[in-house]
Structure 1
């Protein structure tokens, strides 16, 4: 292994460990927030809350215009090719359009709120009024959400994971938990209000976006090259290349978010708010695993972009395989434990949510496949194949919407779970074939295979015999230690 590959792997490990730790915290607080909302609002209004937040996340994802990839790929590429003097022009190309489009989407969401509420909540006047008010509260925060994500993306483009971990994973999720908890406590003495919970959930974006702006400015100034000034031709070429690369990713990013969120809206519209609440609660663990995947991929992304932009496929392959092994090591035990204990943990949200056990089983099985492919979607994008990435996500979205429309009216939340599971399989296997065909990269290195076999051996028995958990945990820790060489765990402690 070359020194550059070792440095890249170690850097990814350090950033990925911090990001995954923050992601676990954010995912854990998200589960607690879901529990508070489910207990305080009841299934029907909780379903309206989850539908409103799904619309909010979709609007914010659309507003980012794919810059969450472009503002990592292009700074990494410019630095790797000695064009640091174009970094400022790159940021000015990506950030202002997001701010303008986010404001337009916020106004659109505000005006469309009554229609969205009737679409997902039916004609019950009280629920429609609460749902409309909740959507309008969230609409105010759409620009703050989009700018927070974009500014933190800028810091990751400079290989700095700390702002994302501290500001998004720790501060924002922590403030959300505190604010929603306060709303839950207030609901003990007064009637629970969906708009109040929506405000408590979204308000943390205000302080976080301000701090993210300072972090992005500091990251930019730390890499500033004062010796060169871009010409008008260079700026024009950069704008063209930036949006040619980012444009397909903008649509793909929205479609990717739709894969994760549109199913809640479809369940609410086609099956009712109570099934939507059951589906959202039962599938909450998927968000936790996606956070872990996102946390690791965000650390690997700039290093992978640099390796591929300079033609170092050996380093890119090593990064992809090692990171996938780490991802499987963390996420497969979660999937298998969720399968084993679904009937028990769902009852914590209320007796009504126990009906979500089949949903958990279907989604957990799909997540085993998805995490086994690693961050293949990101690898395809960093290889410059954003158009193929767009096609894959659109196919997967068509699969989930088609299956949802067909199955939700008959099977409710389970129908949506089948639709999402089908989409996850498609959206991982298609890019996996394309990445391997186009670059020769694949995620199945020795670390990935060891992690998969170890997780299956230790936690597969827990699915059949839940009491085996007492033995499975120490056995898993011991196995990971014995296999630390193949899993490249030493990268987490090596001095840089």
Structure 2
């Protein structure tokens, strides 16, 4: 969670530097280019970021650890090959992507094309970094993901983009230069991720019999039956997060796209918190469901959801209260994004209240349902975007994303409960929600009208910390104390 907070914070700072250094149109082109890069990277991973956690956890839990090597060889080489194909496709398609997303700004199309091609060079490194770190998480090792992806990559991106921003004091700001600064950290991180994955495998290599050919063949078949739907679902999930920026750029212009990207940047903090908890819980949940221990699985789900609400609801509620001040940090032009912030923050309250429900559905083996849910949500978003963006610009995109987020959480929530009996609404979730609403919703609304926002927040923060301490048992925070005691002993 600390690593996720750092990554989210550096992401906001990178956005601020880009927004303040580049003009609104060039900033919009940068955000559109990175959105295309992330979408292509998600497709290149072929769903293995789920399969390479689910299958190692399942193999160990069911006494088939001798198949772990075959599992890794099944998942990693296809990602390496496909990522190279997609990188070539992105390089060749860069002029057309630039033309589509910069229809109202043809004068920056050349720089936009160059930026896309810079990112295409680093696409295989991005895909391999994520997959190799997934391998380490499949062994219940979280440290490489935190240190390499959350800390090292994020800090290097911030330093490199900051250097590019400083360089504009002497040279003209260049979109390709910022794209290179943003993508270059994937090179050292990919090398270190490969070393970490190899170390995790060799350090946990089973001493039992080697896998027979029939077992390996059966594993490959089962691996891709499980992972195939996740490959499409993962791309659709990334599309939910990124394609709206491309649609705003194409249908509304690059300047509205920049406003939309900046106004919704706080969502990255929420996504990183969700991702950090999901990645920690994922192998344990897979093991519990593989052995039929529904009680342990439900406890994991509810505790993690309580922690997610405890961390993210204050962020959402603070963003709602501070939206006018938060947006002006990026520049006066971005203050128009306040309605976007309000719509997206309300949707994220619903999403985080459901916890990491799509991951729970996938770990229960229901990847086909997961795929259907994400495609339904994506259809809702694209349909509403096409209808609303030409009329309302960035706010129309926010409405489309908000409706898609609600669909993508409530549908799997009903399916998880119906198929497994699991749900996120435990004591900890209720306590975290009420504490957040009281301290960062009700208190600023009432006291803020009388004394102003800053004095109200000066009371809300210590009240929230005190409430979390008093409710530590209900929130499951005692688990951290037990962990510390175990490490000391």
Residue 196 (1) aligns with residue 177 (2):
yes
Per-residue deviation, residues 28-70 of structure 1 (Å, max 9, x unmatched): 0000000000011110000000000000000000000000000
Residue 316 (1) aligns with residue 297 (2):
yes
Helix, strand or coil at the partner of 2:22: helix
Determine the structure 2 residue equivalent to 1:230.
211
Per-residue deviation, residues 297-334 of structure 1 (Å, max 9, x unmatched): 10000000000000000000000000000000000000
CA distance in 1, matches of 2:465, 2:329: 28
CA distance in 1, matches of 2:413, 2:294: 16
Deviating runs (4+, > 6 A) in structure 1?
A: none
> Aligned pair in 2 of structure 1 residues 277, 123: CA closer, same or farther (>3 Å)?
closer
Determine the structure 2 residue equivalent to 1:333.
314
CA distance in 2, matches of 1:47, 1:188: 21
Gaps of 5+ in 1: 1-19
Residue 483 (1) aligns with residue 465 (2):
no
CA distance in 2, matches of 1:157, 1:462: 43
CA distance in 1, matches of 2:23, 2:41: 27
Match 1:470 to one of 427, 441, 458: 458
Match 1:376 to one of 333, 354, 357: 357
**Structure 1 residue 463, shift from structure 2 partner:** 4.4
Residue 492 (1) aligns with residue 474 (2):
no
Q: Which of 1 and 2 has higher RCO (CA within 8 Å, sep 6+)?
A: 1
Helix, strand or coil at the partner of 1:484: coil
Residue 56 (1) aligns with residue 44 (2):
no
TM-score normalised to structure 2 length: 0.97
Q: Residue 110 of structure 1 contacts residue 136 of structure 1 at CA under 8 Å; is this kept in 2?
A: yes
Q: Residue 152 of structure 1 contacts residue 216 of structure 1 at CA under 8 Å; is this kept in 2?
A: yes
CA distance in 2, matches of 1:66, 1:43: 34
> Aligned pair in 2 of structure 1 residues 44, 160: CA closer, same or farther (>3 Å)?
same
CA distance in 1, matches of 2:445, 2:174: 39
Per-residue deviation, residues 170-190 of structure 1 (Å, max 9, x unmatched): 000000000000000001121
Helix, strand or coil at the partner of 1:226: coil
Helix, strand or coil at the partner of 1:160: coil
**What is the aligned-residue RMSD (CA, Å)?**
0.7
Match 1:366 to one of 336, 347, 362: 347
Residue 275 (1) aligns with residue 247 (2):
no
TM-score normalised to structure 1 length: 0.95
Helix, strand or coil at the partner of 1:65: coil
CA distance in 1, matches of 2:250, 2:439: 41
**Structure 1 residue 123, shift from structure 2 partner:** 5.8
Gaps of 5+ in 2: none
Q: Residue 339 of structure 1 contacts residue 463 of structure 1 at CA under 8 Å; is this kept in 2?
A: no
Q: Residue 41 of structure 1 contacts residue 192 of structure 1 at CA under 8 Å; is this kept in 2?
A: yes
Determine the structure 2 residue equivalent to 1:118.
99
Q: Which moved more, 1:456-465 or 1:99-108?
A: 456-465
CA distance in 2, matches of 1:24, 1:469: 20
Determine the structure 2 residue equivalent to 1:3.
none
Determine the structure 2 residue equivalent to 1:180.
161
Determine the structure 2 residue equivalent to 1:247.
228
CA distance in 2, matches of 1:205, 1:62: 17
Determine the structure 2 residue equivalent to 1:440.
421
Residues 369-408 of structure 1 aligned to structure 2 (within 5 Å): 369-408=350-389
CA distance in 2, matches of 1:289, 1:309: 29
**Structure 1 residue 222, shift from structure 2 partner:** 1.6
Per-residue deviation, residues 376-433 of structure 1 (Å, max 9, x unmatched): 0000000000000000000000000000000000000000000000000000000000
Match 2:12 to one of 31, 36, 40: 31
Per-residue deviation, residues 122-157 of structure 1 (Å, max 9, x unmatched): 164431000000000000000000000000000000
Determine the structure 2 residue equivalent to 1:9.
none
**Structure 1 residue 226, shift from structure 2 partner:** 2.7
CA distance in 2, matches of 1:436, 1:296: 20
CA distance in 2, matches of 1:258, 1:308: 29
**Structure 1 residue 345, shift from structure 2 partner:** 1.2
Q: Residue 337 of structure 1 contacts residue 463 of structure 1 at CA under 8 Å; is this kept in 2?
A: no
Match 1:430 to one of 401, 411, 428: 411
